[in-house]
Amino acid sequence: MSIVVIYGSTRQEGNTERLTGRVIEGLDVEEIYLRDFNIQPIDDYRHADGGFPDVDDDYDQLVERMMKHDTFIFATPIYWYSMTGTMKNFIDRWSQTMRDTNFPGFKEQLGTKKAYVVAVGGDKPQVKGLPLIQQFSYIFDFMSISFEGYAIGKASRPGDILKDTSAFLAAAILNEKLKESQ
């Protein structure tokens, strides 16, 4: 098993990254910080004659890095009750990749992957973060990705997450599960 963490946060070493740190403790993982890259929003050419034009940004190389692994961890702060726009733009572009001849079998390959979600929010995330979990579940179902588990943490100010011992225990559970499947 080989793991990639895809971070949607826009702040360095924030609460989401700390909680995710517990999830991947002792594991060898590749980490992609989406904020460090130029990812354009999708421009919907699904139904245009020539299909999608090439986009001059970093998206393709990130997908290549992601697809080398068989287990994905999506780690995102909860902004306005969903993933960050930064992560959403990355996932929106999957619609393009599904039609990109440079990525043949993209959907089929995703169907062999496993995924975890780590999400941290400030406003009752254990309840108000559930639509986000449902959205991820639908995304994974569409791609036949196996949804292996999630951890939700509560935090607003830097370091807050350290007080959410429940979240760290939930993260430890995911850590155990990841270790077992390695």
CB of 39 to a copy of itself, least distance (A): 9
Compare residues 3 and 9 and give the one whose CB is closer to a copy of itself.
9
Residue 114 to residue 144: CA distance in whole angstroms: 9
Using alpha carbons only, give the angle 5, 86, 139 rounded to the nearest 5 degrees. Answer: 65
What tokens does 143 get? 């791609």
How many CB atoms neighbour CB 61 within 10 A?
Answer: 11
**DSSP state, 92?**
H
- Only one of the segments 64-72, 97-105, 108-116, 139-147 lies at the binding site for a copy of itself (rule: CB under 8 A); that segment is 139-147
Compare residues 4 and 167 and give the one whose CB is closer to a copy of itself.
167
What tokens does 151 get? 């951890």
Residue 98 to residue 89: CA distance in whole angstroms: 15
Compare residues 69 and 148 and give the one whose CB is closer to a copy of itself.
148
Compare residues 38 and 101 and give the one whose CB is closer to a copy of itself.
38
The contact set with a copy of itself (CB under 8 A) reads 9-11, 14, 35, 41-45, 47, 77, 79-86, 88-92, 94-95, 123, 126-128, 130-135, 137-139, 142, 147, 149-150, 157-158, 165-166, 169-170, 172-173, 176-177
